[in-house]
Chain A
């Protein structure tokens, strides 16, 4: 391995902000009466200010783990601690960017983003308007404030979901493939924006993606999942200097090494999954 270059400060000694402990989640499928174990024995600590990206084949339980951290799904066994306390439900310290956007179709873009602040009662006066507007600008949707979700493309809707999470100013951002439907160019711009935003605000991020490049470019650490049953296969520290632009990093041997490694790991997983699924 090459020597690590300048790293972001890592509060390694302090207690983790998110602590996933021996987490197992089984879904009961009412239709068939069967029980499906989505993830088994997941352990993961995420420290304050850390950016953790999650890679893994489809259906390996990434969203499930994120939902437990968000407080939307209860663990079957094990637990998740946030700031030392067990998660019992959603809270204002965590915001989620949903894989399927989950926008309110009867609200305009502006009002959908506002939904992120809706219940923050301390927001008196008109200050929140600026915050909403800022978030909309950040995701590049100025001019579409009064559009309804169905009038937007998938990528644009996804960015509304992103703005809604950002505007809530949570300590922890849980992002489930937030750039999955965004086109390549916008994706690059958005990735830079996310990186800058996170660097400026010191948020803690759990970021699910299907893109190996994205996982490397954004993550301080990369968590690789495997399936059958869903579990963590390995956790890799990226050890790449920031800011990491796509260009500068392309020629970095560490980047290439990571990319090849992740590629092989996922390839093996996908093959295994296909074999297991086919039997």
Chain B
């Protein structure tokens, strides 16, 4: 390959993604947000339309937010939540991809197991949260289980769909060149399915985070959800809103991270093909 490097620089492939548009939209979005914040501040602090105790002005929320960032208790809660989320997600990815590949690839499993998976997917699992806490206790286990339960189905179902749609011609080509059995799974089915799995993981991560916070909210001894509940209970609305903002940031960072991962792991895949897929 050494000989090809020089040639490659001459015939550099075209850039994979054009960067047009987003700049403009980002500015528009920022302007809208700034406008909303201004109206909010005016309504509360200057016009006193709403009591600050119910809806603290943005400046108060910002102050709470900055306070949070230097509060060791906050970081402890953060670590608690993130650890559960990570463990739950890793379990969901391993189980979800394995089950998804197996069910997608085996016609027998597809006809027997898949209907139940769809059924479970559409069941509002959030309703099971109190049960989990009752059975698994107030500690980490109930949260991890909730994260897993919420995250695993989108991963299974996306992976399954990916495995089903692996083009027959790719499988034929593999067979012609002697790629069978496990090698087929590893070299063809898995990479062909990867973009779908990653889309599922992205959705699973978002749902899993919801599960984590919900679990903490309903009955917990730590974590961001617990902190949020506590602040709301104490009627510290500025801190509560700051907590919500923290959560929005975490959720978005997670999604962005997985997006980046998707582009790194599956650069050949055109995002547009799986947009809107859940």
Binding site for B on A (CB under 8 A): 67, 70-72, 89-90, 92, 94-96, 98, 100-106, 110, 115-120, 129, 133, 142-151, 164, 168
**A100 to chain B: closest residue by CB:** B169
Known: A102-B169, A106-B268, A148-B268. A119 touches B179 (CB 8 A): yes
Q: How far is the CB of B162 from chain A (nearest CB, A)?
A: 13
Which residues on the B side are within 8 Å of A104 (C-beta)?
170, 173, 187-188, 191-192
**Alpha-carbon gap, A164 to B170, bound state (A):** 13
15 CB < 8 A contacts A-B? A70-B176, A72-B172, A89-B175, A94-B176, A96-B176, A98-B173, A104-B173, A104-B187, A105-B192, A106-B192, A118-B183, A129-B1, A144-B11, A145-B8, A149-B268
**Alpha-carbon gap, A164 to B1, bound state (A):** 17
Which residues on the A side are within 8 Å of B137 (C-beta)?
none
Partner of B177, one of A71, A106, A110, A115: A115
Of listed A101, A104, A147, residue having the most chain B CB within 10 A: A104
Q: How far is the CB of B45 from chain A (nearest CB, A)?
A: 54
Binding site for A on B (CB under 8 A): 1, 3-4, 7-8, 10-11, 13-14, 167, 169-170, 172-173, 175-179, 183, 187-188, 191-192, 194, 266-270
**Alpha-carbon gap, A263 to B187, bound state (A):** 44
**B4 to chain A: closest residue by CB:** A145
**Alpha-carbon gap, A147 to B268, bound state (A):** 10
**Alpha-carbon gap, A117 to B177, bound state (A):** 7
**Alpha-carbon gap, A143 to B6, bound state (A):** 9
Q: How far is the CB of B276 from chain A (nearest CB, A)?
A: 20
Q: How far is the CB of A142 from chain B (nearest CB, A)?
A: 7
Known: A133-B4, A146-B8. 17 other contacts (CB 8 A): A90-B176, A90-B178, A92-B178, A95-B176, A98-B169, A101-B169, A105-B192, A105-B268, A110-B1, A118-B183, A120-B178, A143-B11, A145-B4, A146-B4, A148-B13, A148-B267, A150-B268
Of listed B13, B173, B194, residue having the most chain A CB within 10 A: B173
Which residues on the A side are within 8 Å of B175 (C-beta)?
71-72, 89-90
Instruction: Check if B179 sits within 8 Å of A151, measured CB to CB.
Output: no
Interface of B is mostly: helix
Instruction: Check if B7 sits within 8 Å of A106, measured CB to CB.
Output: no
**Alpha-carbon gap, A221 to B188, bound state (A):** 37
Instruction: Check if A98 sits within 8 Å of B11, measured CB to CB.
Output: no
Which residues on the B side are within 8 Å of A129 (C-beta)?
1
Which residues on the B side are within 8 Å of A142 (C-beta)?
4, 7
Once A and B bind, how many residue pairs between them come within 8 Å at the CB atom? 91
Which residues on the B side are within 8 Å of A105 (C-beta)?
192, 268-269
Partner of B176, one of A72, A110, A133, A151: A72
Of listed B267, B268, B270, residue having the most chain A CB within 10 A: B268
**Alpha-carbon gap, A98 to B171, bound state (A):** 12
**B169 to chain A: closest residue by CB:** A102
**Alpha-carbon gap, A102 to B192, bound state (A):** 12
Q: How far is the CB of B19 from chain A (nearest CB, A)?
A: 18
**A129 to chain B: closest residue by CB:** B1
**A147 to chain B: closest residue by CB:** B13
Q: How far is the CB of A139 from chain B (nearest CB, A)?
A: 15
**A146 to chain B: closest residue by CB:** B8
**Alpha-carbon gap, A71 to B192, bound state (A):** 23
Instruction: Check if A102 sits within 8 Å of B177, measured CB to CB.
Output: no
Which residues on the B side are within 8 Å of A120 (C-beta)?
178
- 5 A-B pairs with the lowest CB-CB distances in the bound complex, closest first: A119-B178, A102-B173, A102-B169, A143-B11, A143-B7
Instruction: Check if A151 sits within 8 Å of B13, measured CB to CB.
Output: yes
**A117 to chain B: closest residue by CB:** B177
Of listed B14, B169, B183, residue having the most chain A CB within 10 A: B169
Q: How far is the CB of A115 from chain B (nearest CB, A)?
A: 6
Q: How far is the CB of B14 from chain A (nearest CB, A)?
A: 7
Of listed A103, A117, A118, residue having the most chain B CB within 10 A: A118
Known: A102-B167, A102-B169. A118 touches B177 (CB 8 A): yes
**Alpha-carbon gap, A148 to B14, bound state (A):** 11
**Alpha-carbon gap, A89 to B171, bound state (A):** 13
Which residues on the A side are within 8 Å of B268 (C-beta)?
105-106, 148-150
Known: A110-B1, A118-B177. A102 touches B172 (CB 8 A): yes
Instruction: Check if B178 sits within 8 Å of A96, measured CB to CB.
Output: no
**B194 to chain A: closest residue by CB:** A106
**Alpha-carbon gap, A60 to B92, bound state (A):** 48
Which residues on the A side are within 8 Å of B173 (C-beta)?
96, 98, 102-104, 115
Known: A96-B176, A105-B268. A143 touches B169 (CB 8 A): no
Which residues on the A side are within 8 Å of B167 (C-beta)?
102
Instruction: Check if B4 sits within 8 Å of A102, measured CB to CB.
Output: no
**Alpha-carbon gap, A114 to B7, bound state (A):** 19
Known: A72-B172, A102-B167. A150 touches B270 (CB 8 A): yes
Which residues on the B side are within 8 Å of A168 (C-beta)?
177
Instruction: Check if B14 sits within 8 Å of A151, measured CB to CB.
Output: yes
